[in-house]
Copies of this chain bind each other. A is one copy, B any other.
Amino acid sequence: MKAMEEKILKEGEVFPGNILKVTSFLNHRIDVEFLMEMGKDIAAHFASSKPDKILTVEASGIAIAIAAASVLKVPVVFAKKHAGKNMTGDLYGAKVHSYTHGNDALITVEKKYLSKGEKVLIIDDFLAIGNAVNGLMDICTQAGAETVGVSAAIEKGFQNGGDSLRSKGIDVYSLAIIDSMDDGVINFRA
């Protein structure tokens, strides 16, 4: 999605440790008009896979999942990182290391919200090493659901999470793939 590359070049900020900050339009302030364009683009790619459900993880994945789901007309389930008093059912869980927060989190989904045989599209804001996506796929496997695809707003191609999934035959669609961002210079995959 050319518009995503342009948005990253215009508004993204690179910090040491290969941190790309896109808080101006995606994960703190959300440019909702642009978000809906992102959703349309993801939905167009995966329409033929006919997902029954979109699965993401709180918090930053929720917005883009909603945008795609509003076009595909399917529900969203967001895995919880911080289970509260309102999580009372039987749970699927997976341990996920957060690159941004530097800790491990147990992400959970109530069993009744993922069913055997369902086609699931996994969406997140970032795809880097792939920890969150692998955790969500693990949860799908536990449920007997099928991951029909993975989509990210921004893939850090140099961290290989996306390519590792592609090598397993998974349809991975990222709106922009960054192949390097050394010295603050962002290069996208051709």
Contacts and interface: CB of A to CB of B under 8 A. Distances in A.
Interface string A51-84: 0000000111011001101100111111011101
B88 A15 contact: yes
A28 B110 contact: yes
A28 B82 contact: no
Contacts of A30: 62, 66, 69, 75-78
Count of identical protomers in the assembly: 2
Interface in A5-55: 15, 17, 19-21, 23-24, 27-33, 35-36
A69 to B, nearest CB: 4
Contacts of A2: none
Interface of A: 15, 17, 19-21, 23-24, 27-33, 35-36, 58-60, 62-63, 66-67, 69-70, 73-78, 80-82, 84-89, 98, 100-102, 109-110, 113
